[in-house]
């Protein structure tokens, strides 16, 4: 996957091969030649544009029992559109917002660190399209659900000592909600802000807000073994 907000456009130079999905961040094969979507600088962010990784602000409330945390920091990353098929017929972008109960989630994400006895609410939103410009996420209203471009939300918990990670889905079905929306009020190269709410006909709900600079530190490779603290 490309580094957040600093992706390279991949343009085919001839006939497209078979339309086969591939994994973001791995070389994309076109015309029997490898095209690596990672920029020559290794995907490192442009520090002239990147803000300081200061704590973001956010809120979260719910009447779903165990699905609750005290938000003190917000980490967010946005991956610009990258090709997901060899024929370069499908592109996708991804926004991840994490409301955490401790300060420093952005630095931990970049350093491959897991902190025991912590919790966070993770929201992920993707957009797929047949072109790179069409796959860009923009400010607007989205929904939670099971569709390819629907947002997802889970409660993530890191166990003490072992740092074992578990994700818990909402005990309600967003598709059946009376109100179901994720609103991006701001999404720029350096900043994201918005609100979210899922309210069921019986009154059960989750809702919150986030306002934070995009995390500007580069991610470690996915195969790196996390450090437990």
DSSP states along 8-31: PP----S------B--TTSPEEET
* 125-152 per-residue burial string, b: 16 or more CB within 10 A, e: under 16: bbbeeeebeebebeeeebbbeeeeebbb
User: pLDDT per residue over 13-71, tens digit each?
Assistant: 444 444 444 444 433 333 333 333 433 344 433 333 344 456 789 999 999 876 678 89
pLDDT at residue 188, rounded to an integer: 96
User: pLDDT per residue over 109-143, tens digit each?
Assistant: 888 999 999 999 999 999 999 999 999 999 999 99
Q: How many Å apart are CA 28 and CA 17, to the nearest integer? A: 11
Does residue 77 have a pLDDT over 50?
Answer: yes
pLDDT at residue 219, rounded to an integer: 79
Mean pLDDT for the stretch of residues 170-176: 93
């Amino acid at each position: 996957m490309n580094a957040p907000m600093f992706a390279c456009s991949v343009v085919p130079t001839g006939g497209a091969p078979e339309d086969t999905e591939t994994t973001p961040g791995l070389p994309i094969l076109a015309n029997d030649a490898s095209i690596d979507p990672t920029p020559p600088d290794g995907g490192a962010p442009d520090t002239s544009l990147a803000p300081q990784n200061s704590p973001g602000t956010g809120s979260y409330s719910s009447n779903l029992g165990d699905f609750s945390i005290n938000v003190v920091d917000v980490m967010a990353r946005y991956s610009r559109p990258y090709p997901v098929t060899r024929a370069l017929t499908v592109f996708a972008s991804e926004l991840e917002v994490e409301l955490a109960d401790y300060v420093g989630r952005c630095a931990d994400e970049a350093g491959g660190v897991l902190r025991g006895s912590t919790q966070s609410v993770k929201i992920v939103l993707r957009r797929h399209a047949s072109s790179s410009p069409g796959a860009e996420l923009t400010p607007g209203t989205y929904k939670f659900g099971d569709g390819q471009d629907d947002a997802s939300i889970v409660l993530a918990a890191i166990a003490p000592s072992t740092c074992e990670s578990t994700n818990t889905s909402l005990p309600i079905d967003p598709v059946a909600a009376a109100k179901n929306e994720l609103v991006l009020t701001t999404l720029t190269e350096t900043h994201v802000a918005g609100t979210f709410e899922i309210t069921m006909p019986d009154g059960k709900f989750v809702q919150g807000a986030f306002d934070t600079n995009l995390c500007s530190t580069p991610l470690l490779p996915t195969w790196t073994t996390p450090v437990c603290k």
